[in-house]
Amino acid sequence: MPVLYSLALFLAIVISAPWWLFRMATTGKYREGLSERLGIIPKRISSVRDEPVIWVHAVSVGEILAAARLIDELSARATGWRIMVSTTTRTGQKIARERFGPDRAFYFPLDFAFAVRAWLRALRPRMVVLLETEFWPRMLTECRRANIPVAVVNARISDRSWPRYMRLRFIWKRLLNSLALVLAQSPLDAQRLTAIGAANVRVGGNLKFGIRVAKPAAVTEALRAHLPPNMKVVVCGSTLDREEEFLLDALPRDVITILAPRHPERFSAVEKLLLQRNSRYILRSEWMTSPAPIAAGSIFLLDSIGELASVYSLASVAFIGGGIFTPGGHNPLEPAQFGVPIVMGPHYENFRAIVDALLAANAIAVVEPAQIGPAIHRLLSDMTSAREMGQRARHVFDSHAGATETAVESLLAIIHADAGVRA
C-alpha cells in the first residue's frame, strides 16, 4: 500500500507540475521552504542534536495558535526535551518562527519516503504529535516502522470530509490502528475516528478554547488610542473572496470597520476593491508608521498576520468570515474570549462543535446571507442585548477550558512510558 500511495502521489505531482511551477514563478507561496519540504535539513536545525525531541505538526496559523499553550506547557514539564514544530503554510511558518524561534520551526516534508525519512533521521523524535487530522500515510508508515509513537490531539473529522473517510476506511484502519493516542474534539469526532479504525480514541476537548491573547498586539494599542470616543467598531475577520464586497454593502456607514482577510496573498486584491469602490480606507502597514485619528465611516484594512485575535477586543460586534457562500467557516472563539457579540454566515462545518456550544447558550447569531446586515445593525442599535450576548459567549469560552491540560497529561504519560521501555 505505501508503494501504491507514493506512486499515486508522484503521478499527481507530475500531472499538476505546470500549475505548481507557474505558482512558484509568480508568487513565493510555494517556493519558500521547498528545500525543507524535500527533506534537505537546514543548518539551523541539523545542529540541534543534544536533546530528545518531540515533533509537533500544526498546519497553519489557527493550528499553531491552538498548539501554542500546549507546546509551552509541555516544554515546561518535559524537562530535558526539545519540542520541534513543523507547519505546512507560509503564514503558519512565520508565526511558528516568531513564537518558538527559527531553530525550532521548519516546513513539514512532502509525504514521500525520502523526505520523511530525512527528517526522522535528523530529529530522531521520540514522539510525533499531529494537530487535528494531519493523517499523512507515508509519515504514519515511517513512524510505525521506526517505533515512534504518534499522538493526535484536537482531532476532528468535518462533515464535508466524513463521507470520503468512510469510503476509504479499509485503508485508514491500516494506518490509524497503531496510533498511541487520539484526543478528539467532541464525542461525535471520537465516534467518527473510531469508525474509520483509529486506535486509543478519547474525547479530549478542543484546544481552541484554551487560546487566550496574552497581551494586546501593537496595532490594538495604537487603534485604542486613536479611535473616537464611544465609536462603534465592527471587526470582520478571516474573510474570503467575495465576502468583503458583500459585507461592505451590508454594514452601516457610520461605524469604523476593521477588515481582516483570511489569506495574506489577498491583501492587495482587497485594497484594489476598496479603491474601486472609492472607499475611505486605511492600510494597517502604512498607518502604523505614523498613527493618526480614525474618522467614523473609515475602513481599516488589517494587512498583517497574527494580530486579528487581539484586535477583536476593540469590537462592538464581530463578524466571522469564511461561511457566507462556501462550506467551512472560521473560529468564533477569538472574539468570544473578550465578551464580544458574534455574527456568522450559515456555513460553519469546520467548527461545528464550537458553534453548536455557542448556539446552545444563545451566544452567537448564525444567519443566512440576507440577514447578516440586519443582524449586525440590531446588535449595534441595542448594546444591552449585544453585551449580554457577548457575556454568554465569554462564559462558553471559559467553561470549556481544560483541553490543554488533558492533552499535556496524556502526552507526558506516553513520554514516561516510552522512557520506561527504553530503560
Q: Using one digit for the tens of pLDDT, what is the confidence trace for 248-300? A: 999 999 999 999 999 998 999 999 999 999 999 999 999 999 999 999 999 99
Sheet holding 105-107, edge to edge: 105-107, 82-87, 53-57, 125-131, 150-155, 181-184, 201-203
Q: What is the pLDDT of residues 53-91, one digit of tens each?
A: 999 999 998 899 889 999 999 999 998 899 999 999 988
- Helices marked H in 306-382 — which ranges? 308-311, 333-336, 352-360, 369-381
pLDDT of residue 334: 93
Domain 218-399 architecture:
3-Layer(aba) Sandwich (3.40)
What the block records as the C-alpha cell of 163 is: 463521507
State percent of the chain over pLDDT 90.
Answer: 78
Rounded mean pLDDT, 349-363: 93
- pLDDT confidence band for 51 (50 / 70 / 90): confident
139-193: pLDDT as tens digits: 999 999 999 999 999 999 988 899 999 999 998 999 999 999 999 999 999 999 9
C-alpha pair distances (Å), 21 with each of 18, 92, 174, 382:
5, 22, 34, 52
Contacts of 354 (CB under 8 A, 6+ apart): 206, 208, 209, 331, 332, 333
| Residue extents of the structural domains in the chain | 32-205+402-422, 218-399
Per CATH, domain 32-205+402-422 is 3.40.50.11720 = yes
